[in-house]
Structure formats: C-alpha cells, structure tokens
Amino acid sequence: MTSRIKWLAALAALVPGLALAATATGNLSVSATVSDTCTVGTSSIDFGAYNPISGSARSGTGAVKVTCTTGTPYSIELGTGANTASCSGNRCMKDASTHYLPYELYLDSGHVTVWGGADYVAGTAKVSQTGTGAEQTHDLYGGIAASQNVPAGSYSDTVTITISY
C-alpha cells in the first residue's frame, strides 16, 4: 500500500460516518383492549325534619353519579329499598323499632315519574345514557307524602343502584 492510501484509510477510520455500517429494521406490535366499564357514586337524599301533623309533604334531592367508558351505553335502575317487604311493596324508611315512613324516588322534580327498575312495581322508569368517559350526574327527587301518622324518631332506608352496561 502506498503511503497515500494508508493515510486516507487512517483518516476514514477517524471520521465518524465514513466507515461502512450495516443496518437492519423490524416492526414492534403495540396493542391494548379497552373494556366497557362503569362506576357509580351517589349524593344522598336528606329529607330533614318531617312533621306528620303539619299537613305538608316533604321533598329532597340527591344524585346518581355514573362514569362509563366513552361510548358505553348504560341504564340506571333503583331498587325498592331494604324495607319494602314490610311496606306492601313500596319504598319506606324504618326507625330503630318497627315503624315505617313511606317515601318515593322520582326522575323529575314534579314527582310524576317514579324511578324504578326490574325489581320494582310496573310503570316505573329507568335512566338510559351513553358514557362519555367523564362523570355524568343524574338528579333524583324524593318525596314524603303529607300527613303520614308515624311516631317521632330517626328513619332511614338503603336503596340498591344497579348500572347495566
């Protein structure tokens, strides 16, 4: 080799990118499965002080808060409550003894459409919606009829909320 060729070979080895390199390529697969899913929360109804001899009904407002995967259709049904067997199939709150105070839950503030479900009386309604990925709030309205003859005490009930999706 002549000194000139040796000198060019040495120079090429010192300069990055001038050396010959081989490359290979490939593909990486990436995937995910997004499932339909929903969560539920509530804002309770507190009717406050009910006076059975005043002749006045009592109203309260609460909410069902649902978060479902975007595009997931869902429906909300409300059960009859824990005390319905003792109240002829109606919703009612119970005190610490054996006294019951009937009430109802509605879809509308005018207390026209009862919010029910499959395990409740005929003629009730449920809410159907499509998830957005964000929390969706569905107001619910409660009512206690006027002049119900019940003893003084603290009354409560627990209603099961079912989200079908």
The single residue listed with the structure tokens 């079912």 is 162
pLDDT confidence tier of residue 90, bands split at 50, 70 and 90: confident
- Indicate if the alpha-carbon torsion angle 40, 92, 156, 149 is positive or negative: positive
**pLDDT tens by residue, 55-85:** 999 999 999 999 999 999 999 999 889 998 8
Which of 22-43 are b and which e, b meaning 16 or more Cβ less than 10 Å from the residue's Cβ?
eeeeeeeeeeeeeeeebeeeee
Task: Please give the average per-residue pLDDT across 104-132, as a whole number.
Answer: 85
Q: Which CATH number fits domain 38-164: 3.40.50.300, 1.10.260.30, 2.60.40.1090, 2.130.10.30?
A: 2.60.40.1090
CA geometry: angle 12, 16, 20, nearest 5 deg: 65
Q: 65 forms bridges with which residues in the sheet?
A: 41, 137
Neighbours of 148 (CB within 10 A): 16
pLDDT confidence tier of residue 45, bands split at 50, 70 and 90: very high
Q: Which sequence spans correspond to the domains of the chain?
A: 38-164
Beta strands 38-43; 58-68: pairing state: antiparallel
Q: Please give the model's pTM, rounded to 2 decimal places.
A: 0.79
Neighbours of 4 (CB within 10 A): 8
